[in-house]
A and B are shown apart, each in its own frame.
Chain A
Amino acid sequence: MNAPTSVEGAAMAESEPPARDDGLSQKGAPGWTRFLLTNEFGLVTLIVIFGAVFALGTPGFSSPFNLFTLGRTMAIDIMIGFSMMVVIVTGGLNLSVGAIGVCVAIGCGWLLEVAGAPLALAIFAALALGAALGALNGVLIVRSGLHSFIITLATMSVFFGLMLFLTHANAYRQVPLEFSAFGKMRFAGYLSPLLLVSIAIGLLLAGLYRFTPLGREMLAAGAKAAAAELSGVRVGRTIVICHALSGVLAGIAAVMVVARTGAAIPQMAGNLGQDWLLPAFLGPVLGGTLLAGGRASVLGTFLGAALVSELTNGLLQFRIGEFWVQTWLGLLLLLAVLMDLARRSFLARRGV
């Protein structure tokens, strides 16, 4: 493991609020206790507990078909969570993740159906479009000095409106069969390959933040931009890159949706792409990524998104009434956070 640079050290120290500064309380604890105190361990515990409850409570939950669909949904939610996480790291937001995702999907569909592009080229070009739209967000934020909330709120409408204007809300369904077959493919009867894609991208992101100067610059720019600037980080450029990366990740989520539905459809993420906003925030926030910026938890985001997907799926299986799912989801998430707090408190008393 690389030693943290001074920039990263500054980033972590500046960004951790006192109430959740586990780093301070963990310093004197042995290694295993530190692991037990992590947010990620708490999420794994909750995923296992809820999984056991759902599997025991309803036969459908552990059926191969349900595990397959759960993994597929999880894969998309995880990618959406990643696309927000890489921007939250800078202390910003990207409300246009859904709109960018729809533009990428429609771009991919247009290239396949109208332009007759080969699949690989269509996906690459569509992801490049996602990167360009994300980078445009970044440039507008840096040049205007306005908060990313305002800029991406505006571009959400602009991107989605332009897409509707150009396509007249038409869907593209001439997707190559092998591509839509990929969305339906099952390994061992229950594992979706889309989940493996999400895991691979999660590993790449973790490598980015842990092992590359660019990743550390992203963390530093989010923790304290002025200090990072003094340390030689080109903060503006870094923010543009983060937004471009967000666009690419939102694009990958969109391409997964195209593979899953076998078509590129304008309303795949709801009006203006707003349906993606909840999963975009839930994964990173539950996973321990600080909204103030300066800290990213790739594993936490992965597990946070996985927990939400599991809860939603399990509650549907329990047939508690579709209208109550959202209420129960909220209550269980609140309970999950309280349990995590209790676990930390208990272990801190024992271990520190």
Chain B
Amino acid sequence: MLRSESVLKMFAAAGLALAGWAAPAAAADATKVALVPGGPHPYFAAWEKAGQDAMKDFKLGAADYRVPQKWELSQQNSLLESLLSQGYNAFLVFPGDPVGSNSTVAELTENGAPVIATAGCLKEPTTALFCFGTDTGNSAYLGTKELIKAMGGKGRIVHLTGFLVDPNTQLRIDAVEKAAKETNGAVSVVQVIADIDAPEPAEEKINAYLAAHANDVDGIVTTAWVPAVVASNALRKIGDKRIKMVGIDHDEVVLKAIKDGYVNGTMLQNPYGQGYIGSYALDRIRNGCKVKAGAPFKTIALTNRFIDSGTVYADKDAVDNYVGSMQAITKKIFADFASTYLTCP
């Protein structure tokens, strides 16, 4: 049986140990950026390196990648509130919910911390400076056009996509439909399988569908990370390369499948550029710059203050240099970002 005195000593030791891990506070006026995704997802892994590079290049107090332990709005809200209490004073946030995150974002900005909605947008009205992410509808449209080209301009498409509660999903569904309709009936979308941007449902639904209907399908377009990985593996198993596919993002499985000819290409997004340029923009804002009135923002379904972080199609010839492609996009956007979107004293 534990004696109470020894238990108390143990507690004190644990407390001291935990206290020792608390990082020292940075200078009060330094920009401390927190890059906070909605939850763990491989798409956001590039944010960590982007934050580190931005901290070094722009001499920030911090630019730390902080991940909520689960995809829960409440978890993300708690983490954001905690980070503000810890002294972070600028935030790149992938909104856990385009509407429900607005309240927390408003609290951050009310406490003097500017916020950029990153990789996903907040629904207007919002106190976030702007939204900096992929034009998901355009990316899905361009990807589908590439797929139709690979299919020879005719055939039946299956669209594999993300969570229905994500407003981007409907935009992607509409964009794929739009590209198919432009063929005047030569191409049709025979099935949309949604809510599968997680390994278990993706494995179950994609494999079940292909087991039953592989012969009825000529092309697959995926507009979410996990379905792209699972579909790439499924086509490798089928092995005949009859079904054409255009994926999304840069998972190693997808890139290898492109090299080996099982997948035709992928629509690259630019998470590194989002983290790097976003951190830079927040630092400039904290140092007196303002968002330029009349800046050439795009308008999308959720907001009229949208900046496209770039998307590019990578096929077999371009896949080896996908890092270079993403860096080139970042460099291009960064070159005139301040002069295009900010007014500085």
Contact = CB atoms under 8 A, between A and B. Distances in A.
Interface string A77-107: 0000000000000000000000000000000
Interface string B62-94: 000011111111100111011011110000000
Interface stretch (B21-29, B137-145, B208-216, B329-337): B21-29
A58 B165 contact: no
A263 B99 contact: yes
A317 B103 contact: no
A267 B70 CA distance: 13
Contact of A342 (B3, B71, B97, B111): B3
Contact of B22 (A66, A318, A342): A318
B103 A180 contact: yes
B164 interface: yes
A346 to B, nearest CB: 5
A106 to B, nearest CB: 12
Interface stretch (B11-19, B283-291, B312-320): B11-19
A58 B86 contact: yes
Interface in A289-341: 312-313, 316-320, 322-323, 325-326, 335, 338-339, 341
Contact of B123 (A59, A173, A180): A173
A335 to B, nearest CB: 8
B86 A57 contact: no
A171 B19 contact: no
A56 interface: yes
B278 to A, nearest CB: 20
Given A53-B19, A66-B81, A342 B1 contact: yes
Interface string B93-110: 000011110111011000
A210 interface: no
Given A66-B85, A268-B100, A326-B69, A320 B21 contact: yes
B103 A53 contact: no
B293 interface: no
A53 B99 contact: no
B22 A58 contact: yes
A322 B67 contact: yes
A270 B111 contact: no
A275 B78 CA distance: 14
Contact of B82 (A59, A66, A261, A270): A66
Given A63-B85, A317-B82, A339-B11, A261 B103 contact: yes
Contacts of B69: 322-323, 325-326
B7 A342 contact: yes
Interface residues of A, number: 50
Interface string B1-12: 111100100110
A234 B123 CA distance: 51
Nearest to B71: A270
A49 B9 CA distance: 12
B2 A342 contact: yes
Given A173-B99, A265-B99, A56 B15 contact: yes
A319 B22 contact: yes
Contacts of A316: 78-79, 82
A343 B82 contact: no
Contacts of B81: 65-66, 69
Contact of A313 (B66, B74, B78, B107): B78
Contacts of B4: 339, 342-343, 346
Contacts of B3: 342, 346
Given A318-B18, A325-B69, A342-B4, A275 B74 contact: yes
Nearest to A266: B165
Contact of A317 (B74, B85, B100, B165): B85
Nearest to A346: B4
B19 A73 contact: no
B99 to A, nearest CB: 4
A65 B110 CA distance: 12
A173 B19 CA distance: 41
Given A180-B103, A342-B2, A65 B78 contact: no
B23 A319 contact: yes
A216 interface: no
Contacts of B23: 319
Contacts of B70: 275
Nearest to B17: A57
A212 interface: no
Nearest to A175: B103
B291 to A, nearest CB: 23
A183 interface: yes
B78 A319 contact: no
A7 to B, nearest CB: 37
A171 B79 contact: no
Contact of A65 (B97, B111, B164): B111
Contacts of A345: 1
Contact of B87 (A60, A173, A326, A341): A60
A267 B78 CA distance: 16
Contact of A60 (B2, B73, B79, B82): B82
A224 interface: no
A323 B1 contact: no
B164 A169 contact: yes
A317 B107 CA distance: 18
A34 interface: no
Contacts of A322: 66-69, 79
A262 interface: yes
B47 to A, nearest CB: 14
A61 B99 CA distance: 28
A318 B73 CA distance: 21
Interface string B102-142: 11101100010000000000010000000000000000000
Interface of A: 49, 52-53, 56-61, 63, 65-66, 69, 73, 169, 171, 173, 180, 183-184, 257, 260-263, 265-268, 270, 275, 312-313, 316-320, 322-323, 325-326, 335, 338-339, 341-343, 345-346
7 contacts: A52-B15, A57-B18, A61-B85, A169-B164, A169-B165, A313-B78, A342-B4
Given A313-B78, A335-B11, A342-B1, 14 more contacts: A56-B19, A60-B85, A69-B82, A73-B78, A171-B100, A262-B103, A265-B100, A268-B73, A268-B97, A317-B82, A319-B23, A322-B66, A323-B67, A346-B4
